[in-house]
């Protein structure tokens, strides 16, 4: 059953960060590898407004529950980008408008045409809502796993608290997408077939095409290519397998392997994250 928007509203809102000691990053800075991953995450969080633009040209705009969700989702993701940008700025890394302007210039051709592409998909593929909601659930699950893994690797108290707060909101987003997708897929073989085809042929790690491919590949390979990262990927795969008609796709594992090969081809190897003796993978 789709989670009611009223329940979603009760638990949502602007990410609280006023009580966090961001100045701690000046005395305890993050490693360049962690900052590189944070830069990728910063860009994707801010990109949500453009994903929203694409979805509003599909027939889904007729559903007031869905447009209410998009509004809240976009608002919360914006504040995630703000918080991550603050961390980057404290390390003198580009953030906020500086990065966004460059990203939108880099991808301007696709951004120009993407509303037309989504209009065609929304009006030409009868089961496209099932595709989109399933796609969204997978992206939110992988984003949550990425924040989890990055917190483990960085082992920084302020970053861990910040990412934990972001994860709680991302978890709600994932739950909404997944419940909606499950309702659309359940008992509908055509929706299952169409969704499976799109995932097998078109799905890629979130951000693919929005930021330089190497940055997406680096974040995926560094966070999930070994150790506890692989366990988190297994959990995402289990969740995908549990959706009606989608068992056995192994989407994320295949994407991580491809990302690892790409980084090795371009940079020689994927740096190994530090091993924490007491590291655990939170649920």
Q: DSSP characters for 62-106?
A: G-HHHHHHHHHHHHHHHHHHHHHHHHHHHTT---THHHHHHHHHH
In a domain, 272, yes or no: no
Higher-confidence position of 4 and 73: 73
Q: Provide the 10 A C-beta neighbour count for residue 202.
A: 9
Identify whether the C-beta of residue 34 lies closer than 8 Å to the C-beta of residue 153. Answer: yes
Q: Does the structure show a pLDDT above 90 at 283?
A: no
Look at the chain and report how many structural domains it folds into. Answer: 1
List the CATH number of the domain containing 33: 1.10.620.20
| C-alpha distances out from residue 77 to 16, 45, 83, 171, Å | 12, 5, 10, 12
In a domain, 5, yes or no: no
Over residues 142-149, the mean pLDDT reads 96
Max mean pLDDT range (53-57, 79-83, 222-226): 79-83
Domain that holds residue 75: 22-267
In a domain, 51, yes or no: yes
| Alpha carbon of residue 56 to chain centroid | 19
In a domain, 167, yes or no: yes
Identify whether the C-beta of residue 40 lies closer than 8 Å to the C-beta of residue 218. Answer: yes
At residue 280, the pLDDT reads 43
At residue 137, the pLDDT reads 96
Identify whether the C-beta of residue 44 lies closer than 8 Å to the C-beta of residue 133. Answer: no
At residue 78, the pLDDT reads 95
Q: Does the structure show a pLDDT above 80 at 256?
A: yes
In a domain, 254, yes or no: yes
Over residues 43-54, the mean pLDDT reads 92
pLDDT band at 96 (very low <50, low <70, confident <90, very high): very high
In a domain, 230, yes or no: yes
Backbone angles phi, psi at 211, to 5 degrees: -125, 165
What the block records as the tokens of 263 is 């980084």
At residue 179, the pLDDT reads 93
- The string of pLDDT tens digits covering residues 219-255 is 999 999 988 899 999 999 999 999 999 999 999 999 9
Q: How far apart are CA 232 and CA 224, in angstroms?
A: 8
Q: How far apart are CA 88 and CA 94, in angstroms?
A: 7
What is the percent of the chain where pLDDT is above 90? 77
In a domain, 1, yes or no: no
Q: Does the structure show a pLDDT above 70 at 41?
A: yes
At residue 282, the pLDDT reads 46
At residue 1, the pLDDT reads 59
At residue 2, the pLDDT reads 65
Higher-confidence position of 140 and 1: 140
At residue 276, the pLDDT reads 64
Over residues 43-68, the mean pLDDT reads 91
What the block records as the tokens of 33 is 């590898």
Higher-confidence position of 209 and 152: 152
Q: DSSP characters for 141-163?
A: HHHHHHHHHHHHHH--HHHHHHH
Instruction: Please list, in sequence order, all residues whose beta carbon lies within 8 angstroms of the beta carbon of residue 95, skipping any fewer than 6 positions away.
Output: 42, 84, 85, 86, 88, 89
208: which strand partners?
Answer: 211
Q: Does the structure show a pLDDT above 50 at 166?
A: yes
In a domain, 234, yes or no: yes
Instruction: Please list, in sequence order, all residues whose beta carbon lies within 8 angstroms of the beta carbon of residue 94, skipping any fewer than 6 positions away.
Output: 39, 88, 102
| Out of 16-20, 77-81, 99-103, least confident range | 99-103
Over residues 195-208, the mean pLDDT reads 93
The mean predicted confidence, pLDDT, of the chain is: 91
């Amino acid at each position: 059953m789709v989670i009611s928007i009223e329940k979603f509203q009760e638990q949502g809102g602007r990410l609280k960060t006023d009580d966090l000691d961001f100045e701690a990053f000046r005395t305890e800075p993050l490693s360049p590898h962690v900052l590189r991953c944070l830069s990728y995450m910063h860009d994707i969080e801010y990109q949500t407004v453009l994903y929203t633009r694409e979805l509003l040209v599909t027939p889904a705009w007729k559903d007031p529950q869905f447009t209410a969700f998009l509004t809240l989702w976009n608002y919360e993701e914006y504040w995630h980008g703000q918080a991550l940008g603050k961390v980057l700025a404290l390390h003198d890394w580009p953030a906020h408008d500086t990065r966004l302007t460059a990203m939108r210039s880099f991808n301007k051709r696709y951004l120009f045409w993407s509303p037309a592409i989504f209009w065609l998909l929304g009006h030409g593929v009868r089961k496209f809502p099932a595709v989109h909601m399933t796609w969204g659930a997978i992206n939110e699950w992988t984003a949550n796993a990425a924040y989890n893994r990055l917190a483990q690797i960085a082992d920084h108290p302020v970053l861990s608290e910040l990412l934990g707060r972001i994860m709680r909101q991302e978890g709600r987003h994932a739950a909404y997408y997944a419940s909606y997708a499950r309702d659309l897929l359940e008992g509908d073989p055509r929706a299952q077939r169409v969704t499976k085809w799109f995932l097998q042929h078109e799905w890629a790690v979130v951000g693919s095409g929005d930021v330089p491919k190497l940055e997406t590949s680096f974040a995926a390979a560094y966070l999930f290519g070994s150790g506890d990262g692989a366990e988190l990927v297994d959990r995402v795969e289990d969740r995908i397998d549990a959706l009606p008609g989608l068992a056995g796709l192994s989407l994320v594992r295949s994407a991580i392997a491809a990302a690892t090969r790409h980084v090795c081809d371009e940079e020689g190897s994927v740096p190994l994250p530090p091993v924490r003796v007491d590291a655990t993978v939170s649920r």
